[in-house]
Structure 1
Amino acid sequence: MQAHPIGGITRRPAWLAEAGATLALAWPLALTNLSQHALALTDTVILGWLSTEALAAGTLAANLYWAVMAAPLGTAFAAGPMLAQARGAGRLPGGAGRGWVRQMRRGARSALWAALALLLPSMLLLWFAEPVLLALGQQPHLAALAGTYLRAMMWGLPSFCGFIVLRGFLAAMERPAPALWVAGGGILLNGALCWLLVFGALSWPGLGILGAGIASALANAAMLGGLLGLMARDRVLGRFRLLGRFWRPDLAKLAEVVRLGLPISGSMLLEIGVFSAAAIAMGWFGAVAVAAHAIALQTAGMTFMIPLGIGQAATARVGLFAGAAEPRAAARAGWVAIGLGAGFMLATALLLVVASAPIARGFLGAGDAEAAAAAALGATLLTIAGIFQLADGVQAVAAGALRGLKDTRVPMLLAALGYWGLGMPVGLLLAWQAGFGPVGLWIGLAAGLGCVALLMLRRWRGLSGGAAAAGA
């Protein structure tokens, strides 16, 4: 598209203007994601300095934690597309979008209700994490340490889900900065608390892995309280009164949250589950393999936070235009976001391939007898992670764009096909039958991500092209 001069001023092409708007929304969301991931990364690094066994136990615990959390988090994430389309409907002419403020308030409250309801069984399962991990064939001492960690960490889950819902509200309002500021403070608080509670200071005795769980729970509670405080003080955000009459559930909105959120939960569970299953399988190879898996997963997870933020921006931008009945603008918003995510992940792919060895060594203490072996295997897995960066970024952003259209059921089925129909079977086959061990598992994960990325792109092309043609 060419730029058109209007009144002597050159107007930017629509795609370039959309790129600017997407980046303006995406970078605070991405940094917020990085901040939240840094909370887990802080625990990983500190536990790695404590011992390789503590790192392995923390990794097993984290994988079970995220698998169990998929259901409540999916409903919390459903707030994003609901609220974005409600705000977009406010742009419709003739009063068609009247009452969008009330619709956003009802949607946010309902997402909170659904997430809290699904938290109860999740927390019950985490309380019995040790016997669950033993049933999955994990070593008894690692299962015991992981259970201790989770029994402390799980008390921060309600606060975490509340933070996710509020962050979706802020993204729909295109005001993501408060969540970023709070998440940044959460990193500092968690880091200080984790170090103090794990290792102790002066006459304060260290609590080991239990201290890391307590620190995470306290940091999550502080982040929710801080975000609620900032929003209440803001003249625009405060008028929504999101928690006003919170005790009165809205059954119609709850049904919409469930309809959108459960497939999101399913997609998350499928993706988290395949990496969690890989961690469980790593446990069969021993603590060194689990620690190496943790190094690669935490590093790849850190880079993934950027396209995840771009995908969240795509949900908001696509949802805004879809709610305002502007299908061409919605299609443009999605494609621009996908391009931005792909460009970033190409750069990180090069970084991970080139710098895999020093990155892996930074996770482990020099005095640990098993550190050298874990670092060497971790570097190999990081190289594989670098290879699948592009696919991981594209599938994340495409999924976010599809959520903006409230399309969540089919993407869940596509994730099932890619991760479990291809990725995990190939990984297990390469690990045991072909004799590649942990490396084979990660090659399978890379194949699954590539398949999902292609399927998501095809789905987005079909829906966005059809919507744009219908609106022409």
Structure 2
Amino acid sequence: MTAHATLAPLTQAPPPTWAVELRALGALAGPLIGANLLQMAVFAVDVVFVARLGPVEFAAATLGVFFFHILGFGLIGMVGAAEPLIAAALGRRVGAVRQVRRSFRMAMWLAVLGSLVVIAVLNCAAPLLRLAGQDPAVAARAGSFCRVLSLAVLPAVFAALIRLTAAALGRPGWALMVTALALGVAVLANWCLVFGNAGFPALGLEGSALSSVIVSTATCAAYVVILLTDRRLRRYRLLGKWWRAEWSRMAEIARLGTPIALGWMAEGGLFGGAGLLMGLISVAAIDAHAVALNIAAIAFQIPFGLAQAAMIRVGFAFGAGDRAWVARAGNVAIVTGIAVMALSAMVFWAVPHWLVRLYVDPAREGAVASLAVALLGIAAIFQLVDGAQAVAAGVLRGVQDTRVPMLIQIGGYWGAGFGTALLLGFGLGWGAAGIWWGLAVGLGVVSALLIWRWNARERLHLSPHVA
């Protein structure tokens, strides 16, 4: 496929059939899924280099990256609420250029304000980690790591905003190309700065954090160049009049985006909390949890990309006021997400030992390997519900419904999920497997309730007002 074909404009016209909608969804989701998978490789590069620095440095980086990701992804979720507004404006067509520019501009303003808060928290990482009972030496190194890493917050959020905006405007292929560039920069920057190659100073842990800053800045710069040079994107003049305030639009983005941010943080916190529970069992449980979770996270990038694309497709239909199109776009996305994750679940069931061997040598770490294989069997089940809840949340964002889904996520993840993990893992003595069954229960509850809400959208007045 040529670059021109990959970047071809995506129609905002109502598709007449499920097959046409599926093709449109695939054209939009494919590059986003590819970019998500490449982003996982960027994260893996950091892990590979930092792991060689020693256990204290690796633990510090793990805690620091978790801090950064849960706060950063929350902020990206907030400013990403501009995307359903942009998609709806494109669906309405009338005055779309001005509305798109307004939403993008005020999302940028919100990114700046939110980044100041995230940066302040990251600079307080060391005392916060000590309050959480972490080892003082690890907390101190994590604090130093986070101070450098905080410089990556704003360019990372800007890059994510531009990426989704470009996708909504018919240029999803840029996400794949730019993230491939980021992977190359990550390898080179870590190689130079962590161990002092090519004449650079050996900065160790701080070098890894600085490489993340460089990667985020380079990614953001690449997207800015694309906005200024891509013929289709340039017509929207997204960076024009960036100083002009539209307070009502910013408030609308914050109203839609705050629940998205809290929902994402609740899900990330659930898996982080599960890791802490594993630490109460054994070191082997922590390692097996990390291996199985990494494998599951790679598979999750597919429904996550589908959810991003589905939000845009449903947003087009919502803006056009076409209820039949809304239903078709959402249903196609949910069915596709479940079908894809059913395939990944089959792989988890069929060849778990092969997957675990990519991370752990069973001959040397037999306890970790066998437990990771057992956890993958449970992951095969929650793959289905995890994919379903991700896409269902995406289609609901497309109709600008975020507050109740947030309440469902918080209640499902922490009430049903974490509560069941505690009960099964410790109350009934199921150990690590019980904790993962708790994750499956939480994801299942959220999935069922979000799909119910989507199917009940007419009764709940979530469909477009225009017939």
- Normalised by the length of structure 1, the TM-score is 0.88
1:25 aligns with 2:28: yes
Q: Which amino acid aligns with 1:222?
A: A
Deviation at 1:25, TM superposition (A): 0.6
| Counterpart for residue 217 of structure 1 | 213
Distance 1:134 1:237 in 2: 47
SS in 1 for 2:457: helix
Distance 1:443 1:235 in 2: 50
Distance 1:151 1:89 in 2: 44
Distance 1:210 1:354 in 2: 41
| Counterpart for residue 356 of structure 2 | 360
Deviation at 1:15, TM superposition (A): 0.6
SS in 1 for 2:297: helix
| Counterpart for residue 448 of structure 2 | 454
Distance 1:54 1:289 in 2: 20
Match of 1:295 among 291, 297, 302: 291
Segments of 5+ residues of structure 2 without an aligned counterpart are: 1-14
| Counterpart for residue 343 of structure 1 | 339
| Partners of 2:274 and 2:435 within 8 A in 1 | yes
Match of 1:34 among 37, 60, 63: 37
Q: Which amino acid aligns with 2:412?
A: G
Q: Equivalent residues in 2 for 1:331-410 (5 A)? A: 331-363=327-359, 373-410=367-404
1:279 aligns with 2:275: yes
**Distance verdict in 2 for CA 1:469–1:316, change over 3 Å:** closer
Match of 1:171 among 167, 172, 197: 167
| Count of residues paired in the alignment | 452
Distance 2:56 2:369 in 1: 14
Q: Equivalent residues in 2 for 1:56-455 (5 A)? A: 56-90=59-93, 97=94, 99-201=95-197, 206-285=202-281, 288-363=284-359, 373-455=367-449
**Distance verdict in 2 for CA 1:138–1:248, change over 3 Å:** same
Please give the per-residue CA displacement for 1:229-284, whole angstroms capped at 9, x wherever unaligned.
02211122112221222122210111111111111111111111111222333344
1:44 aligns with 2:47: yes
Deviation at 1:417, TM superposition (A): 1.7
Deviation at 1:300, TM superposition (A): 1.6
Q: Which amino acid aligns with 2:276?
A: I
Moved more, 151-160 or 328-337: 151-160
**Distance verdict in 2 for CA 1:292–1:112, change over 3 Å:** farther
Distance 2:260 2:137 in 1: 34
| Partners of 2:152 and 2:216 within 8 A in 1 | yes
Moved more, 343-352 or 216-225: 343-352
| Counterpart for residue 14 of structure 1 | 17
Deviation at 1:80, TM superposition (A): 1.1
Deviation at 1:352, TM superposition (A): 2.6
| Partners of 1:54 and 1:145 within 8 A in 2 | yes
| Partners of 2:72 and 2:157 within 8 A in 1 | no
SS in 2 for 1:407: coil
Deviation at 1:357, TM superposition (A): 3.5
| Partners of 2:74 and 2:261 within 8 A in 1 | yes
Please give the per-residue CA displacement for 1:304-358, whole angstroms capped at 9, x wherever unaligned.
1111111111111111011011111111000001111111111111223334344
| Partners of 1:76 and 1:115 within 8 A in 2 | yes
Q: Which amino acid aligns with 2:294?
A: Q
Deviation at 1:50, TM superposition (A): 4.7
Deviation at 1:138, TM superposition (A): 2.4
Distance 2:123 2:370 in 1: 34
Distance 1:314 1:178 in 2: 18
**Distance verdict in 2 for CA 1:68–1:253, change over 3 Å:** same
Please give the per-residue CA displacement for 1:101-141, whole angstroms capped at 9, x wherever unaligned.
01100100111111221111211111121221222222334
Deviation at 1:381, TM superposition (A): 3.0
Distance 1:448 1:244 in 2: 44
Distance 2:135 2:286 in 1: 12
SS in 1 for 2:231: coil
Moved more, 372-381 or 124-133: 372-381
SS in 1 for 2:235: helix
Distance 1:61 1:435 in 2: 31
Distance 2:437 2:140 in 1: 30
Distance 1:43 1:110 in 2: 32
| Partners of 1:56 and 1:290 within 8 A in 2 | no
Deviation at 1:39, TM superposition (A): 1.8
**Distance verdict in 2 for CA 1:43–1:172, change over 3 Å:** same
| Partners of 1:138 and 1:280 within 8 A in 2 | no
Segments of 5+ residues of structure 1 without an aligned counterpart are: 1-11, 91-96
What is the root-mean-square deviation in Å for CA atoms of aligned residues? 2.6
| Counterpart for residue 5 of structure 2 | none
| Partners of 1:322 and 1:404 within 8 A in 2 | yes
**Distance verdict in 2 for CA 1:45–1:449, change over 3 Å:** farther
SS in 1 for 2:134: coil
Q: Which amino acid aligns with 1:229?
A: V
| Partners of 2:318 and 2:464 within 8 A in 1 | no
